[in-house]
Amino acid sequence: MTQVAIIGAKGIVGQEILSLLHTKKFSFTDLTLFGREKSSLSYKENVFPIIPLRTESIASYDIAFFCAGSAVSEKFIPEFRKKTALIIDLSSHFRMDPLVPLIVPEVNIEQAYDHSGLIASPNCIAIIASVALHPLHQQYRLKRAVIATYQAASGAGYRAMQALIEETEHYLLHKKSAPSFFSVPYAFNLFLHNSPTDAFGFNAEERKIQEEIQKIVSIPNCPISPTSVRVPTLRAHSMSINAEFHYDIELSHAIDAIRNAPGIQYCTNATPQMASGKEDVFCGRLRRDPSINGLDMWVMGEQLLKGAALNAYQIAEQLIKTPSQ
């Protein structure tokens, strides 16, 4: 008997969580959807009311999914914690808090049981990369990783996806138009992730990838150097990973480690279209790096599912099925 709330229900990730609750037949007695203002949300034959997010509208819940951004999480999670058994926050606000578990179920679900009412779900790239790196780390102990990411429009939300579609149409019809979402043209273009850059030259997205992989995989001193690029695809993030290890690698064993790991498929030539709408992470083209004791690999995953909504759903599902360890 579970009472569930989704904060940010009309957003692109909130709608994916709603879909997962229904398609996977998650058992709940009551579902409350919160948004910026009073409205409604249609899902299949159902119409759900959207309640404006106000302190006075908060009731008691067994699980609350927060997918409305860091500012909303910062303001309202303290209020929800007074009345909610478990909050799963998909924003970045609490991820690096040492008292808040940062969970990818295929990697560190055991840490979820140490929660004090709040669990953070990681950055999309950090989730997908961790699912691929963890089985190799278990075999060979990760020494360092260099990651180049190729991130789809879905990572920036519905408006970015619409901008890509519209700008592509204009480009193909030879219509001149100004960039409609990002500061540069999006169609038939790629550019560095548009988050702020720090004094060391890394942008905010790259810092999240570094710090969150270190926390998820429990490798706090392992150097990770990412470069994040936005590419003109709608869904599914891709990445090229070069990983160096402490222990000698046997390529066939490394491939077997990927094949046998949960939540990941070994696939030689995965594409964003192949990964779109799929729950698993795809990993392939594993090959020895001749310059180091390392591997090169091609990894991708559906940002809206495993990179966001599905990961949060899996955390909730696991803790409902097995309340303690």
Active site residue 124: yes
Whole-number Å distance between alpha carbons of 167 and 189? 11
Q: How far apart are CA 181 and CA 324, in angstroms?
A: 45
Tell me the Cα Rg of the chain: 20
- List the catalytic residue out of 124, 222, 267, 283: 124
Cα-Cα-Cα-Cα dihedral sign, residues 44, 46, 52, 55:
negative
Give SS3 for 320. helix
Sign of dihedral through CA atoms 166, 171, 177, 183? positive
For residues 95 and 24, what is the distance between their CA atoms, to the nearest angstrom? Answer: 27
Between CA 192 and CA 299 the distance in angstroms is 19
Beta-bridge mates of residue 295:
243, 288
Q: Is 93 annotated in the active site?
A: no
Annotated catalytic residue, options 193, 237, 267, 283: 237
Structure tokens at 28: 């709940």
Q: Which residue carries 């989704």 as its tokens?
A: 6
Distance (Å, whole) CA 292 – CA 167: 43
Q: Helix H segments across 175-277?
A: 204-216, 251-259, 272-275
Q: Give the active site residues.
A: 124, 237
